[in-house]
Amino acid sequence: MKRLLPMAFAAAGTVFLQGCAGWQSALDPKGPAASELAWLIWFFAGLCAVVWVLVMIALAAPLMMRARAQAQPLAVDAGADDRKLRVVMIAVGLTTAILVGLTLLSFFADRTLAAIGSDAVLTVRVTGHQWWWEVRYEDATPSRILTTANEIHIPSGEPVRLLLTSNDVIHSFWIPSLAGKLDLIPGHMNVLDIKADKPGVYRGQCAEFCGAQHANMGTFIIAEPRAKFDAWWNDQLQPAAAPTADEAKAGEELFLRRPCVMCHRIGGTPAGGTVAPDLTHIASRQTLAAGTLTMSRGNLAAWIADPQGIKPGSNMPVVEFSGDELNAVVAYLEGLK
Amino acid sequence: MSSADLASERAPATEREASAEGDLAPEHDGPRDTGMDDASLHGWLAGTWGTAPGIVGALSSVDHKVIARRYLITAFVFLCLGGLNAVAMRIQLSGPQRGLIGPDLYNQLFTMHGVTMMFLFAVPIVQATGIYLVPLMVGSRNIAFPRLNAFSYWVYLSGGVFAWISFLLNMAPDVGWFAYVPLSGPEFAPGKRADVWAQMITYTEVSSLAVAVATIVTVLKQRAPGMSLDKIPLYVWALLVTSFVVVFAMPAVMIASTFLILDRLVGTHIFNPAEGGDALLFQHLFWFFGHPEVYIIFLPATGMVSAIIPVFARRPVFGHLGLVLSLIAVGFLSFGLWVHHMFATGLPKLGASFFTASSMMIAIPNGVQIFCWLATFWDGRPVIRTPLLFVFGFFVIFVIGGLTGVMLASVPLDLQVHDTYFVVAHFHYVLIGGSVFPLLGAAYFWFPKISGRMLSERLGRWHFWLAFIGFNAAFFPMHLVGLWGMPRRVYTYPAELGWGNINLFISAGAILFFLSFVLFAFNLVHGALKGAPAGDNPWDAGTLEWATSSPPPSYNFARIPVVTHVEPLWAEREALPVATGLRVDVRELLISTVAEAHPDIREKSAAPSIWPLLAAVAVGGTFLFSIFTPWAIVWGAAPVAITLTGWFWPKGAPEDEE
């Protein structure tokens, strides 16, 4: 039986080695906050491991003893107990010292984190919905305010202030490789500052149970150099590209005549719904349905045809389209770069 | 009730004649145990304290051992059901994008798993162990308020059955065991699922409160003569502290669940931010209960550890006073940490830091306990039997859970791991390591007392290693997958995140862990039917429950023992001194003073009655219908009032005579 133990650990080791470098991992930090936190995690974990090993040695020591436990249980050696008391006192003292140290460490780490976003220029309002993220870029000029969904573009190397709230239930915004999580609570506004050191795509997902599709509520931070980010913002401010091909034109008309417009907005068209993601530039996004599907013609068609099969319980209803109609709508949406 | 002059605790083996005096009229005085021979004493006491035959007799029983056995068996059934929930979830999560279980069922599964394990298994089973053992350990004939105790079981049973029937009807709560608003509120949880949660919580807590009250009074007032505060066994101390924690913590969650059902059923807006309510209020109320809840489950287990270690280390536990003070300190501090469950809600930094400090601080008394137990072992090689193996398992696992708890206490660190599988790993290490392993050890330790038969040592060792390996294989990798970004309560995950292999490994471990319980169930049945006879004290333990036969008679002790030492059976190897003077023709208890346990008065203990069952049915029915209409409270008040009147009706029977 005891020989099984090392075998189990060996098997476990092979499993643990893979997957360390995830793009949604707190141990693979890509920003100052997550780096500070990863350091904190390793430090705490290392210290805890040392303490655990010491406790295990103290536990194993009597098992190695030659002398058996006494037969007469009340014949306790008072002198030995006095010595034990000293050892226990020292152990309690050390425990207290370690805990005070960790408390201070935690407090100073918190201060470091709070300083990261103090000079943030860009403010993005993130509103949680069941089960997607509304993203609004604030600007002093009203015409430059931009609304999009699920993917948050930020300039790399610059701190960005996220204002977090919710439209329905409590969600939690979490990009492990950039920062710790913070809740989106209806009636409350939370502030989270993030910064990505380098350009890249950082995945995250909702971390507070929010109902049927909590598992499929992904989000992405897309960090780009400043110039590219500014160009992106300008592009996104443009109204939707008018379709040119016949099929896409037919698709636009179908979109506008069918229930789609009740929920979705497409800038530059009469579609003005605000309860579902803004589709003005949907084809420029990398994923569909809050990170559930990658963006492609096939997935667009699948999502429209069978949203309840892909994301059961989601608020996207099935809108009946014939095969040709579906192709047309997809052709239209695909052109919304 | 009368004052009586009972044999004092410092009169070993003298069965001093207790003289009736004062207000006790001689014509009301029946035969006493003084000077009675053993056979006729047994005859009298068995007749007075026994449970009547037949179905009505069984349903009317107020014997703490009968009630506790029912509790233990019921809680074990719920453990198996909760375990099956877990196995179903683990099969779904064993690979990315598996389609075995959809989100609707999965959300019910994890909610039922949490609710079952916390409210229907963990709290009831630690309290039930207390119901069985505390009266025996303090040397009393029954628990205080025996009818209330019987009532608590029926309420618990109906609450649990109600929750599980709702699961079979696809109506089980799907909002998590914590049921945060607004997700559980009227707007986002249509149907009756969240109502089932709210009412089930409220009434299983009624049962828990009832047991807590009975336990507190038993410990404070019914201790055997001579069991002064410093001679109370640590297990009993643990149950006493736990019961006080229950009394102060449970009302908070009952308020939360009642506010929730008011929002849902009556249309109040207590938690509705749009109408001036606040969603975070629910979390404060819930966790003000929820954190002490962890200690409600853990403290009795520390009591079990403190009971098992001295027996196999063959000496009294080291640092008895330190352990008692630690228990009390943990009980107090457990109320000052709830906010560490809410660090991610964006509370003011300074307030959050305070809770970091308090959460770290509770590790000090817990550390004191660990060090004292370790020091107890250092006199020589302990006798390793299955109960001790599980205690070793407790050390290995619980210390990991405690240390990851220190990590979670840090606000910034918590923001990375909160609501991830790291936390799932942490609290399973704390709850299974800290409570289930001691409980399993306790099962092997006290099964001989309860059944009169030993459990198989060989199967016990297999059980331990299977459980230990299965547990660690299932839960240790969860720390990692949590740090890799996997949140809790997800019914599936995308393949490209690379969590597939490790989840498959976890699922295999979980199934191994589940199988260990199948083996345990087999060992229990095998032991109960074919186990070797145990005798009164198979482990040569020192506390009072081992002074009586196995299983104990309905009256527990033929004569009330007198306590001279914290391990009375070790101090008095020949024969335990006893106190006499109690009547044998009616249910009479010896009530002693709170601090010194001087014998004080003789008190009648309630006779069996069917009314607690009827009252529980009335209360249960009221709660059940309140899910559908608030008027149920109005109409339900009548049967509740009638049954309570029946319960407390002065019948002129001897119990109310004096």
CB contact under 8 A, B316 and A73: yes
pLDDT value at position A77? 84
Looking at the fold, whether A281 and A215 belong to one and the same domain comes out as no
pLDDT digits (tens, 9 = 90+) for B436-475: 999 999 999 999 999 999 999 999 999 999 999 999 999 9
CB contact under 8 A, B346 and A87: no
The closest CB to that of A26, out of B356, B416, B502, belongs to: B416
Residues in Cβ contact with B550 at an 8 Å cutoff, skipping those fewer than 6 apart: B448, B449, B450, B451, B452, B534, B535, B536, B538
Supply the DSSP symbol for A68.
Answer: B
CA distance B415 to chain A (A): 5
Instruction: Report which residue type is found at B26.
Output: P
Would residue A17 count as lying in a domain? no
Signed CA dihedral, A59, A60, A63, A64: sign only: negative
Task: Give the ipTM.
Answer: 0.93
Looking at the fold, whether A210 and A253 belong to one and the same domain comes out as no
CA distance B200 to B68: 21
Q: Which of B411, B265, B267 minimizes the C-alpha distance to B339?
A: B411
Domain boundary residue, one of A233, A264, A282: A233
Q: Which of B526, B563, B524 minimizes the C-alpha distance to B226?
A: B563
Looking at the fold, whether A156 and A95 belong to one and the same domain comes out as no
Q: How many CB pairs under 8 A join A and B?
A: 306
CA distance A29 to chain B (A): 11
pTM: 0.93
CB contact under 8 A, B410 and A168: no
Among B370, B406, B499, most A C-beta atoms within 10 A, so best to mutate, is B406
CA distance A88 to B147: 44
CA distance A32 to chain B (A): 13
The closest CB to that of B379, out of A56, A69, A176, belongs to: A69
Name which of B150-164, B323-337, B344-358, B481-495 the model is least confident about: B344-358
Would residue A55 count as lying in a domain? yes
CA distance A327 to A301: 7
pLDDT value at position A68? 83
> Containing domain of residue A299, as a range?
246-333
Token output for B402: 């405690």
Domain boundary residue, one of A233, A265, A280: A233
Looking at the fold, whether A198 and A130 belong to one and the same domain comes out as yes
Decide if B449 contacts B546 (C-beta within 8 A). yes
pLDDT value at position A300? 96
Among A64, A74, A129, A173, most B C-beta atoms within 10 A, so best to mutate, is A74
Q: How many independent structural domains does chain A possess?
A: 3
Would residue A279 count as lying in a domain? yes
In chain B, the residue whose alpha carbon lies closest to the alpha carbon of A213 is B103
Domain boundary residue, one of A201, A233, A265: A233
Contact residues on chain B for A18, CB-CB shorter than 8 A: 498, 501
Q: Residue A314 belongs to a domain with what CATH number?
A: 2.60.40.420
Looking at the fold, whether A211 and A176 belong to one and the same domain comes out as yes
In chain B, the residue whose alpha carbon lies closest to the alpha carbon of A314 is B103
CA distance B83 to B424: 15
Looking at A18-77, list the stretches that DSSP marks H as alpha helix, in order from N- to C-terminal side.
32-64
CB contact under 8 A, A91 and B418: no
Would residue A3 count as lying in a domain? no
Decide if B557 contacts B575 (C-beta within 8 A). no
Would residue A10 count as lying in a domain? no
Looking at the fold, whether A132 and A178 belong to one and the same domain comes out as yes
The closest CB to that of B104, out of A95, A130, A212, belongs to: A212
CA distance A242 to chain B (A): 35
pLDDT value at position B653? 54
Would residue A21 count as lying in a domain? no
Supply the DSSP symbol for A224.
Answer: E
Residues in Cβ contact with B122 at an 8 Å cutoff, skipping those fewer than 6 apart: B297, B431, B435
Looking at the fold, whether A192 and A260 belong to one and the same domain comes out as no
What is the mean pLDDT of the segment spanning B484-492?
95
Looking at the fold, whether A197 and A276 belong to one and the same domain comes out as no
Contact residues on chain B for A164, CB-CB shorter than 8 A: 346
Looking at the fold, whether A136 and A221 belong to one and the same domain comes out as yes
Looking at the fold, whether A182 and A216 belong to one and the same domain comes out as yes
CA distance B311 to B383: 9
pLDDT digits (tens, 9 = 90+) for B128-184: 999 999 999 999 999 999 999 999 999 999 999 999 999 999 999 999 999 999 999
CB contact under 8 A, A76 and B490: no
Written as tens digits, the pLDDT of chain A (337 aa) is 445 555 555 555 544 444 444 589 999 999 999 999 999 999 999 999 999 999 999 999 998 888 888 878 888 888 889 999 999 999 999 999 999 999 999 999 999 998 988 888 899 999 999 999 999 999 999 999 999 999 999 999 999 999 999 999 999 999 999 999 999 999 999 999 999 999 999 999 999 999 999 999 999 999 999 999 999 999 999 999 899 999 999 999 999 999 999 999 999 999 999 999 999 999 999 999 999 999 999 999 999 999 999 999 999 999 999 999 999 999 999 999 8
In chain A, the residue whose alpha carbon lies closest to the alpha carbon of B462 is A1
Would residue A319 count as lying in a domain? yes
Looking at the fold, whether A227 and A268 belong to one and the same domain comes out as no
CB contact under 8 A, B375 and A213: no
Q: Using alpha carbons only, give the angle B504, B508, B509 rounded to the nearest 5 degrees.
A: 115
Supply the DSSP symbol for A139.
Answer: -
Would residue A185 count as lying in a domain? yes
Looking at the fold, whether A188 and A111 belong to one and the same domain comes out as no
CA distances from B74 to B153, B204, B315, B624 (A): 10, 13, 35, 20
Decide if A213 contacts A130 (C-beta within 8 A). yes
- B37 burial (CB, 10 Å; 0-12 / 13-18 / 19+) is exposed
